[in-house]
Structure 1
Amino acid sequence: MSFRAIWVWSHEKGETVRLRFSRRYSTVEHRAKVLSGSQYVAVPDDCVLLQHIFSKLGLEDPDRLYVASRDDCVLHQESLILELNPDGPGRGKLWPLLTLTHGALIMACLCLIDSPASSQPPLSNQVSVCQGIALLSDLQAFLSAGSKTPDHDTLVSRLDLLPSVFSHICPLGTPVDTPHTTMFPLLAVATTSGSQKQPAWKSGFHKGKSTVSVSVTETVRSMQYGSHSKQDLWDVYGNVICKCEVEGVQPSITVTLSLPPNGSPLQDILAHPCVNALDTSTLTSSSMDYGDGSTFSGPYKFPFSPPLEPFRVCSYTSQVPVPPILGTYHLNEDLGQVQLNVLLKLHESVTNSFEYCEAHLPFFNRCQMGSLDVKVTSGQVEVSKEKNLLVWVLGQKFPKSREVMLEGAINFSGQTAGPTDPLCTDGTAYVKLYFRIPDLTLSGCCVDQHSVQVYSSTKPRVVTSRDLVSSEYYIWNSTGHTPMLPSTLMM
């Protein structure tokens, strides 16, 4: 679904033909060369190509009503789709070349067909042909400004805007998946860009209210065994996501990450390529440098010129002293009945306010649950529809004691076998925690909205947020055999 090249010519009666716009995409042309192999035909110069198009369209030598290479009844003609042989008959072809004429304007685009040049697949199967016809139709509507014969000044002004418009709707030769009616507001946006050059990696401009949103999300993983002979493991990694809706071609923005005085320094920092002038001390801190007391503790400044879409400014890791929730799990089985005891403790440094918090207790290699007698000190217990999973919904707060407990017994007497797992056999079982805590990071990392610096023609609204989420957060049965994970694999 790409184009090798796009052209716009004007052809007024009594005047010479003028090339008004030409855009060739070298990356798409390289793909065409690889696909075609020895049958590759390069796109000729604009003047040579124009002669072939004029001959095919009957605009050259208008006194000649019949041209065999064009009008022979043996040929299969498509109204908008041309096949050109710039090197002569039987010496390769350029196909499909889409053309559209409107008044004095001639618009054309050469589509890329993702198949060998020796085959000519049905056009109905080619998405790029449909996209090309739609593109030329919308281009015609854009240049004509809604009238059959636009005035000269309007046409000239819109032709001048085509480089910036195509940078938005067709970056690098592939049209974006947005309605082409966005070309009209782009007209007003592009005129405000002045003489500042648009970078090739940025597909367009933003027009409207300016907003900068920065979110810090930390993810915590944990393996807890409840045994003195096995060391509990946990790690934390964070992502800083930014969405910048700011006017201008290359607005400059600086996001600063700060830590509290006792916060864990950020390590293993990876920054987005658009981040420039980054302090080298920010990148040198590594979690593999054990015992290194010279870790840089911020503030961490990230200056950049943002793309239009949301992107990850940076990622990092942090060595926090304790996980947010500590737990123990005891499971024993006797004569088909399973005795359960789960204790969860919320650490005192963690905010007691969850968006959600659930503990899942799966049971593998057993029949379905029959009768169960389970009590909890907080929340409620649900059984999955398949009757092989116990879901403990803890809600949005722990009690004041910051401790919750589940205990009881379960009989497995169903007629249908549950899911199997070669790892969780006999007493090997686990509790998996799912939670999200808003306005909290374990490292203490945050972005103050007043520290976000924006150098633009308009003053944007700055929105910041942070949260902590769990991932692969396991509490293993301390009375069974549990798998051990090397601490180096947690990072």
Structure 2
Amino acid sequence: MSFRAIWVWSHEKGEALKLRFSRRYPTVERRAKLLSGPQYVAVPEDCAVSQLVFSKLGLEDPDRLYVASRDDCVLHQESLVLELNPDGPGRGKLWPLLTMTHGSLILACLCQMEASASSSQPPISNQASVCQAIAFLSDLQAFLLPGSKASDQDTLASRLDQLPSVFSHICPLGTPNDTPRSAAVVPPQAVPAASSGSQKQPAWKSGLHKGKSTVSVSVTETVRSMQYGSHDKQDLWDVYGNVMCKCEVEGVQPSITVTLSLPPNGSPLQDILAHPCVSALDTSTLTSSSMDPGDGSTFSGPYKFPFSPPLEPFRLCSYTSQVPVPPILGTYQLKEDNGQVQLNVLLKLHESVTNSFEYCEAHLPFFNRCQMGSLDVKVTSGQLEVSKEKNLLVWVLGQKFPRSREVTLEGTINFSGQTAGPTDPLCTDATAYVKLYFRIPDQTLSGCSVDQHSVQLYSSTKPKVVTSRDLVSSEYYIWNSTGHTPMLPSSLTM
């Protein structure tokens, strides 16, 4: 796996992309020209690349919610992967350009596909170089933003200044040394002169931990849902999880094993992707895929992940799970009569979910209307807030549902303000939705967890093991059942 070019941008809301670092590799570019033949497309100047990426990520002109060249439903969207057309559509492409965004930072790399020119674009899932490039960007992000502190500008500026020297060591000629498992580079004076024992110091690990051993493992599952409240459309939902680790242990290449377990009635994990530092995986762990309709795999763990960790926090693995029901079921009815809107919302917490939230809110936006005037809305639990712009109704449900596990909102709203609110070409007339935001601590929908006693560290010192798990929402919509249902994808995909 080699890179033709690498970029790091920063982007603040309402501002243009600011290029913070770029590196090109002429030797890789020459190889790309030989392999691509007549289909070769040169990498344009950094300013042109910035503009193309800015547009592709939807950061340019945020008021334009729909751009045909980017958002047309006939286009096949792939997470993290972009296709750039410097000379216009149909006139050559730069692919695959991998991007990773965290806070105001955007990282990108243009991979060189080690294959001869072909008229067809190979599937991303079959490209090992793409997986390695994602791991590289993930570790580069961990180096630039240690501990995910996106707001620490001093640390970020310091790490950006180090990038030229860092890349001369970890990626001198466009090909990463030992496929980086962590881009964490410490100053030369902090690097030990020689490795202890007979083990060789890995190129991707230029420092050693000294002190008390601690292993932290957190499991976070994200649930997405589209609920229509209609017999004509099927409700959709999916769950995907991330297992994050931070291992502060002594030794050049310490060996750790983390085991994920499921309860007897838990949904099996599927589509498991492991970090490159994982040394071995059971074949039954890798063969279960939600993309294969004929997959009859029922392997439900335990899932063992032996690895030698990098210094910085990293994602040990990700997975999906086909759970039978979403955590919160809801219906939404909205009717309009002469500028007055009648609302009726019912939310029900499923019995399998713990009735304890870190936070839980339901947002009811009103598009293509004037500002809200008088309100006569009642709720059975929680409290209501109106945004400063008077175009968003926020239902703060707090940390618990009532004992019945059901809450309702009903009433009327008059839109008598003179100032126009937000516009949306999708949500017109009675087409509207409720969007849920929640976080449930110490709960996963699949039941996946990490037992402290299952974490094994093969060392003379006994580590302190800290584990946690959370369930959070993302793109959790309940659509108005009495209005026009928008044409949305037939299934949710990662």
User: 1:344 corresponds to which letter in structure 2?
Assistant: L
| Alignment correspondent of 1:293 | 296
Query: What SS does the corresponding residue of 1:369 show, helix, strand or coil?
Result: coil
Looking at structure 1, the residues matched to 212 and 222 of structure 2 have their Cα atoms a distance apart, in angstroms, of 32
Q: 1:312 aligns with which of 286, 291, 315?
A: 315
Q: Given the alignment, which residue of 369, 373, 380 partners 1:370?
A: 373
Structure 1 partner of 2:325: 322
* 2:186 corresponds to 1:221: no
> What aligned pairs does 1:212-291 form with structure 2 within 5 A after superposition?
212-290=215-293
The amino acid across from 1:251 in the alignment is: P
CA-to-partner distance for each residue in 1:304-327, whole Å, 9 max, x for gaps? 111111111111110000000000
Q: How far apart are the structure 2 equivalents of 1:421 and 1:223? A: 18
Quote how far apart the aligned CAs of 1:296 are. Answer: 1.4
Structure number with greater Rg is 1
Question: 1: distance between equivalents of 2:297 and 2:185?
Answer: 53
Q: Distance in 1 between matches of 2:230 and 2:315?
A: 38
- Cα distance, 1:185 vs structure 2: 5.8
Corresponding residue of 2:428: 425
Shift of 1:202: 1.6
Contact 1:248 1:457 in 2 (8 A): no
Secondary structure of the residue aligned to 1:281 is: helix
Deviation at 1:456, TM superposition (A): 2.5
CA distance 1:178–1:488, change in 2 (3 Å): closer
| Cα gap change, 1:35 to 1:315, in 2 (>3 Å) | closer
Q: Secondary structure at the match of 1:490?
A: coil
Amino acid at match of 1:196: Q
Taking a change above 3 Å as real, the CA distance of residues 489 and 402 of structure 1, as seen in their structure-2 partners, is closer
What's the counterpart of residue 350 of structure 1? 353
* CA distance 1:488–1:342, shift in 2 (3 Å): closer
Distance 1:131 1:381, change over 3 A: closer
Q: Following superposition of structure 1 onto structure 2, how do residues 87-236 of structure 1 map, counting pairs within 5 Å?
A: 171=170, 186=191, 193-236=196-239
Equivalents in 2 of 1:168, 1:193: separation in Å? 26
Amino acid at match of 1:232: D
Q: Is the 8 A contact 1:267 1:286 kept in 2?
A: yes
Q: Give, in angstroms, the shift of residue 184 of structure 1.
A: 5.8
Residue 172 of structure 1 and its aligned partner are, at CA, apart by 5.0
Task: Identify if the C-alpha distance between structure 1 residues 178 and 232 changes in structure 2 by more than 3 Å, giving closer, same or farther.
Answer: closer
Q: Hey, what's the Cα distance between the residues in 1 that align with 2:385 and 2:24? A: 58
Q: What is the deviation of 1:178?
A: 9.5
1:467 aligned partner: 470
Structure 1 counterpart of 2:493:
490
Partners of 2:262 and 2:168 lie apart in 1 by 41
Secondary structure of the structure 1 residue equivalent to 2:416: strand
CA distance in 1 between counterparts of 2:210 and 2:413 reads: 61
What letter matches 2:410 in structure 1? Answer: E
* Amino acid across the alignment from 2:392: L
Give 1:393's aligned residue: 396
Partner amino acid for 2:467?
T
Task: Return the offset for 1:280.
Answer: 1.1
Distance 1:447 1:178, change over 3 A: closer
Which residue is equivalent to 2:406? 403
CA distance in 2, matches of 1:317, 1:225: 23
RMSD over aligned CA atoms reads 3.2
Separation in structure 2 between the aligned mates of residue 230 and residue 404 of structure 1, nearest angstrom: 24
Q: Give 1:383's aligned amino acid.
A: V
Matched position secondary structure for 1:214: strand
Pairwise CA distance, 1:269: 0.8
1:439, 1:366 → 2: CA distance? 40
Instruction: Name which of 438, 441, 444 aligns with 1:441.
Output: 444
Instruction: Classify 1:312/1:337 alpha carbon distance in 2 versus 1 (closer, same or farther; 3 Å).
Output: same
TM-fit CA distance, 1:204:
1.5
Corresponding residue number in structure 2 for 1:139: none
1:268 to partner: Cα distance: 0.7
| Structure 2 residues without counterparts, runs of 5 or longer | 1-21, 31-156, 174-181
- The residue that corresponds to 1:138 in the other structure is none
CA contact (8 A) 1:167 1:204 kept: no
Q: CA deviation at 1:484?
A: 3.9
**What is the aligned-residue identity percentage?**
84
Q: 1:434·1:473 contact (CA, 8 Å) conserved in 2? A: yes
1:38-49 alignment runs, 5 A limit: none
Task: Determine the C-alpha separation between the residues in 2 that align with 1:362 and 1:443.
Answer: 31
Deviation at 1:395, TM superposition (A): 0.4
Indicate if the aligned counterparts of 2:190 and 2:207 stay in contact, CA closer than 8 A.
Answer: no
Counterpart secondary structure, 2:401: coil
The one-letter amino acid of 2:355's match is N
Structure 1 unmatched ranges of 5 or more: 1-27, 37-126, 136-165
Structure 1 residues 434 and 442, CA gap change in structure 2 (3 angstroms):
same
Checking the alignment, whether the CA contact within 8 Å between 2:259 and 2:302 is kept in structure 1 is yes
SS of the residue corresponding to residue 387 of structure 1 reads: coil
How far apart, CA to CA, are the structure 2 residues paired with 1:315 and 1:295? 18
Task: Give the Cα–Cα distance (whole angstroms) in 1 for the partners of residues 446 and 285 of structure 2.
Answer: 16
Would the aligned equivalents of 2:451 and 2:467 in 1 still touch at CA under 8 Å? Answer: yes
- Return the letter of the residue paired with 1:445: C
State TM-score, norm by structure 2: 0.63
Change (3 A) 1:212 1:177: closer
Match of 1:360 among 359, 363, 372: 363
Residue 455 (structure 1) aligns with: 458
Look up the equivalent residue of 2:409 and give its one-letter code. L
Query: Structure 1 residues 383 and 451, CA, compared in 2 at 3 Å: closer, same or farther?
Result: same
1:412 and 2:425 equivalent?
A: no
TM-score (norm 1): 0.64
Query: SS in structure 2 opposite 1:415?
Result: coil
Deviation at 1:295, TM superposition (A): 2.3
8 Å contact from structure 1 (residues 171, 203) kept in 2 = no
Count of aligned positions: 339
Asked if the contact 2:255/2:306 (under 8 Å) is kept, the reply is: yes
User: Is the Cα contact below 8 Å between 1:258 and 1:447 reproduced in 2?
Assistant: yes
CA distance in structure 2 between the partners assigned to 1:172 and 1:185 by the alignment: 21
Specify whether residues 201 and 30 from structure 1 end up closer, same or farther in structure 2 by C-alpha distance, changes over 3 A only.
Answer: same
